Amino acid sequence: MQKAKESTEILSQKNILQNALDYIKEYFSNDHSGHDAQHTIRVYKLASRIAEQEAADLFLVQLAALLHDVDDRKLSPDTSAEKNNAVSFMKNQGIEDTVIRTVCTIIDEISFAGEDSVTPQSIEGKCVQDADRLDAIGAIGIARAFTYGGNHDRVLYDPQEKPCLHMSKEEYHSHISTTINHFYEKLFLLKDLMNTAAAKEIAEHRDQIMRDYIEEFLLEWDGIR
Ligand code: ADP
Ligand code: NI
């Protein structure tokens, strides 16, 4: 009896995750700004990998990873405070209120906000935050930064414009920088902000890829290489 109950629960969690996957594919179908469904799917995969090593609750991690950007403050400013999109999706799936609240807290705590960034309270939140940040660094991170820069008409690089360090949340959100400065203002900081051992190890490698790339970029800029 107990076994049968467990297997129905597992099946329904699987169904919910499949529905979440279908939902985000539809939700991001017109977005090419670097916040697309493929970003969410990569975060989902990385978060699952980290969660397994951290013995975190896999369902919570996977659901939060899949829904983490559907109420993003830049893409959906009207729903971001209350997480209306994520909440309605979860309510439609019959998910209980305590789980809805937990997922919303994980999503709330995820974002990089300069010096006001928070460390998630739960291990599940730590896994999802690490996965989202890992997708902002390394080879993929470089590609996403330039995609974002192109999409927002940002200047590629200006040696006269120095990176702005130690920004508050408000300063970070209103700051307009060159794409190269974004590496100094956010991407190079992420390695040391990883929460889990698994993510720290992946971040070491990805961080080095970016540093080698920027070193080469600056040498080419000055005509040295
Ligand atoms: P997240 O998915 O972590 O919430 P953001 O919304 O901050 O990420 O940004 C989406 C992507 O765009 C990330 O890869 C990020 O590094 C990049 N990005 C954000 N702001 C800038 C910027 N000012 N210049 C270049 N890339 C940026
Ligand atoms: Ni994200």
Q: For 115, phi and psi rounded to 5 degrees? A: -70, -15
Q: Is 13 exposed, middle or buried (0-12, 13-18, 19+ CB in 10 A)?
A: middle
Q: Would you place residue 222 in the very low, low, confident or very high pLDDT band (cuts 50, 70, 90)? A: very high
Task: Give residue 72's Cα distance to chain centre.
Answer: 10
Looking at per-residue pLDDT, the higher value among 104 and 31 belongs to: 104
Q: What is the mean pLDDT of the chain?
A: 93
pLDDT at 126 over 90: yes
Pairwise CA distance, residues 179 & 19, whole Å: 35
Residues with CB under 6 A from ligand 1: 34-35, 74, 111, 132, 136, 141, 144-145, 148-149, 154, 177, 179, 182, 186-187
* Contact status, residue 154 vs residue 175, Cβ threshold 8 Å: no
Strand partners, 115: 113
pLDDT at 50 over 70: yes
Contact 46, 134 (CB under 8 A): yes
pTM: 0.93
Distance of CA 43 to the CA centre of its chain: 6
Between CA 106 and CA 155 the distance in angstroms is 33
CA-to-CA distance for 206 and 187, rounded, in angstroms?
10
Question: What percent of the chain is modeled with pLDDT above 90?
Answer: 90
* Plot region of 137 (φ>0 → left; ψ -120 to 50 → alpha; else → beta): beta
Cα 39 to Cα 34: distance, rounded to the nearest angstrom: 7
Tell me whether residue 222 is exposed, middle or buried, using C-beta atoms within 10 angstroms of its C-beta: 0 to 12, 13 to 18, 19 or more: exposed
- Position 189 pLDDT exceeds 90: yes
Instruction: Identify the residue whose C-alpha is closest to ligand 1 atom 14.
Output: 136
Closest atom of ligand 1 relative to the 181 alpha carbon: 24
Q: How far is the CA of 145 from the centre of ligand 1 (A)?
A: 6
